[in-house]
């Protein structure tokens, strides 16, 4: 898997080892929700219906290691396809880094707090229903609110005043 190098999330995606690639995910859970594609226009609508493996209260996969055995079409995001997945949310760490943009301030790798993604409303924790209970997808089309853009900036570090 490899070691997590200091500040690895600022390196180009192509330089990340497997452990670093996995660690880049912010845990928002949005890629684990069903989408509906309009057959005529190709337009993609979001829903609040989660894969059966997603823990709806935490937005974590309940069996990430073995997920392919239960959900064969679960997408495995890789470097070669990351720019070709149109429905990744604008906040997705892979999408941001593929575009050469920095991780947002609420990303746990930046702020050190895995709950920040939930607090700022980027994750789907507590806001989705499992596909095992949802019924027709068409009844669950949603538009996820855009997160507060101010929170997408890296936090400003306080001056230490050491040189006084
Ligand atoms: S959308 Fe991106 S950051 Fe969010 S859970 Fe999926 S892979 Fe991780």
Q: What is the pLDDT along the chain (164 residues), one digit of tens a residue?
A: 789 999 999 999 999 999 999 999 999 999 999 999 999 999 999 999 999 999 999 999 999 999 999 999 999 999 999 999 999 999 999 999 999 999 999 999 999 999 999 988 899 999 999 999 999 999 999 999 887 656 665 555 555 555 44
Domain extent for 128:
8-152
Query: 88 CA to middle of ligand 1, Å?
Result: 7
Residue nearest to ligand 1 atom 4, measured at CA: 28
- The ligand 1 atom at the shortest distance from the C-alpha of residue 26 is 3
67 domain-assigned: yes
Domain count, the chain: 1
Question: DSSP code of 91?
Answer: T
Pairwise CA distance, residues 38 & 22, whole Å: 31
Residue 18 lies inside a defined structural domain of this protein: yes
Residue nearest to atom 2 of ligand 1 (CA): 92
Is residue 158 one of the residues assigned to a domain?
no
Q: Whose CA is nearest to atom 8 of ligand 1?
A: 25
pTM of the model: 0.87
Q: Is residue 1 part of a domain?
A: no
Using the mean position of ligand 1's atoms as its centre, give its distance from the Cα of residue 27 in Å: 6
User: How many A from CA of 94 to the centre of ligand 1?
Assistant: 7
For residue 3 the two structure tokens come to 């070691």
Taking the C-alpha atoms of residue 147 and residue 137, their distance in angstroms, rounded to an integer, is 24
Q: How far apart are CA 108 and CA 59, in angstroms?
A: 15
In this structure, are residues 62 and 55 in contact, taking their beta carbons and an 8 Å threshold? Answer: yes
31 within some domain: yes
Count of residues in the chain: 164
In a domain, 53, yes or no: yes
Cα(52)–Cα(96) distance, integer angstroms: 27
Ligand 1: residues with CB < 6 A are 25-31, 77, 88-89, 92-94
CA-nearest residue, atom 6 of ligand 1: 31
Measured in whole angstroms, the distance separating CA 24 from the mean position of its chain's CA atoms is: 9
Q: Computed over its alpha carbons, how large is the radius of gyration of the chain?
A: 17
What pLDDT, on a 0 to 100 scale, did the predictor assign at position 5?
Answer: 97
3-state helix, strand, coil in the chain (%, to 5): 30, 10, 60
């Amino acid at each position: 898997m490899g070691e997590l190098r200091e500040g690895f999330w600022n390196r180009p995606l192509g330089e990340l080892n497997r452990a670093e690639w996995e660690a880049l995910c912010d845990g928002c859970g949005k890629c684990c929700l069903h989408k509906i594609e309009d057959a005529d226009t190709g337009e993609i609508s979001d829903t609040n219906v989660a894969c059966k493996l997603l823990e709806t209260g935490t937005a974590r996969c309940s069996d990430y290691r073995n997920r392919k055995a239960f959900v064969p079409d679960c997408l495995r995001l890789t470097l070669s396809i990351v720019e070709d997945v149109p429905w990744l949310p604008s906040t997705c760490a892979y999408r941001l880094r593929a575009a050469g943009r920095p991780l947002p301030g609420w990303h746990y790798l930046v702020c050190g707090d895995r709950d920040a993604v939930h607090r700022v409303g980027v994750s789907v924790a507590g806001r989705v229903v499992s596909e095992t209970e949802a019924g027709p997808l068409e009844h669950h089309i949603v538009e996820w609110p855009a997160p507060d853009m101010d929170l997408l900036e890296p936090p400003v570090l306080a001056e230490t005043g050491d040189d006084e």
